[in-house]
Structure 1
Amino acid sequence: MQLRPTRKEDLDQVMGIIGQAMTYMKTAGIDQWQNGYPDRPTIEGDIATGIGYVAEDEDGSVVATVAVTFDGELSYRQIEDGAWLTDGAAYATVHRIAVRANCKGRGVSSYILAQVEAMCRQRQVGSIRVDTHRDNRSMQRLLQKNGFSRCGRIFLCGGAEDGHERIAFEKVL
């Protein structure tokens, strides 16, 4: 498996994976990604700005998608009911992680997080932050299994989910 930058020709596959994730969350009763986000323009923006990545399996099939930024996150400036593990230091942010339905349970998300850690080390970035919906238990388990600590609550700033509460996690590298 490899993690590589998303290309324009990956867009339909990425949107298919996101559609599967939206359906899963709706079926599971998770009110996340139910307002039309993430949409095609969001993913096109990820590609254009170089923050979108896909995981490919051994035969070159796209099995997952993720966005990784290194320029801070407006929604993370204020945290409630806790505190970030690091303060003022550079961090990576993981957004929009989704795995193709028939690839779940194969460790793809853990692989992606390990690759993000490697990207951070290469850039000398000391931590990774992620947020997720309070009902998204599978994402919370994934994060805790991979060494992330629950830090508190944040509220999203801007976009289709503006003002929505999320649980904030961080891992110090």
Structure 2
Amino acid sequence: MDLILWRHAEAQEPEGDMTDLDRALTRRGDKQAARMAAWLDRQLPEGTRVLTSPAVRTEQTVRALGRKYRLHDELRPGASPDQLLQLAGWPMAKTPALIVGHQPTLGQTISRLLGMADNECSVKKGAVWWLRCREREGQLQTVVVTVQTAELL
């Protein structure tokens, strides 16, 4: 199974009565999302499920991709890696999942899947981590397929 984790692009700082969920992308964030979306559109396998947090900034990020997506409360800021992995169907789902979400959840999920000593990996705004589960000699392994940032595309 492929699990593609995409952190939302750069967002505005909260102002006044604005809630965290209402934060929108900055102009730079719009550009980051567009660059990454163009790359992802060429790379994503057919049938990839696209799942996103209901936060404005994640929905704006995923809209740049131009594909159907589903909002999931389980991906809100503060979600747990367990919630994310269950929603994705890791590691046994038949189709790849693209998750658009937040730190620290994405970094915690990556750390867990890669067996890192630290319990949180830093994920840059707008970046994608593409992980794959495979079986070798009867053991499930997590492989890093690629890590991409919008600035390098």
Same fold (TM over 0.5): no
* TM-score, length basis structure 2: 0.29
* TM-score, length basis structure 1: 0.27
